[in-house]
Amino acid sequence: MITKVLVLLLVFASAQSRPEDLYTHADVIHHSQPIYEDTIPYEFAYAVNDEYAGADFGHSEQSDGENVKGSYSVQLPDGRKQVVTYVADDYAGFVAQVQYYGQAQYPATYGPPVTFRPIYEPQLVYQ
């Protein structure tokens, strides 16, 4: 009987010594993510327009360190261009406005895509 009581007390003591939630433990809270005091303004942009591959997309974004404004665009397979303009901050979160340009086109028959290889013409160099 005493053995059963001692085993029960050991199990209860070990359960009490373990933290209830590992993610709210004091060590995890203080060391999980760095806190940055200074904000850094930035600005970037890129665009790709490859007629041979059919890729047409881009992205631009700027920040004053607190708020972020930007837009990105992509040419959709149905022929339309999708443009997303967004603003993000700590108060309102991510707010986006999506616009489409052009008319969606769906072919009557489907088949393999028509592609043309670039024409390579070697140039002779005389020395």
pLDDT of 71-118, one tens digit each? 999 998 888 999 999 999 888 999 999 999 999 888 777 777 666 666
Structure tokens belonging to residue 105: 């086109």
Is the model's pLDDT at 55 over the cut of 70?
A: yes
Core vs surface per residue 9-47: b (16+ CB within 10 A) or e: eeeeeeeeeeeeeeeeeeeeeeeeeeeeeeeeeeeeeee
Residue 94's pLDDT is 92
Count H helices and E strands in the chain, helices first.
2, 5
What are the CA-CA distances from residue 58 to residues 70, 77, 95, 104, 110 (Å)? 11, 16, 19, 20, 29
Mean pLDDT in residue range 51-75: 91
* Share above pLDDT 70 across residues of the chain, in percent, rounded to a whole number: 65
What is the C-alpha to C-alpha distance for residues 48 and 71, in angstroms, rounded to an integer?
14
Q: What is the dihedral of CA 5, 11, 16, 19, to 10 degrees?
A: 180
* Coil vs helix vs strand at 88: strand
* Share above pLDDT 90 across residues of the chain, in percent, rounded to a whole number: 31
Task: Provide the sign of the torsion angle of the four alpha carbons 19, 21, 22, 26, taken in this order.
Answer: negative
User: Which pTM does this prediction carry?
Assistant: 0.56
Is the model's pLDDT at 18 over the cut of 70?
A: no
Residue 39's pLDDT is 79
Q: For residues 71 and 60, is the Cβ–Cβ distance under 8 A?
A: yes
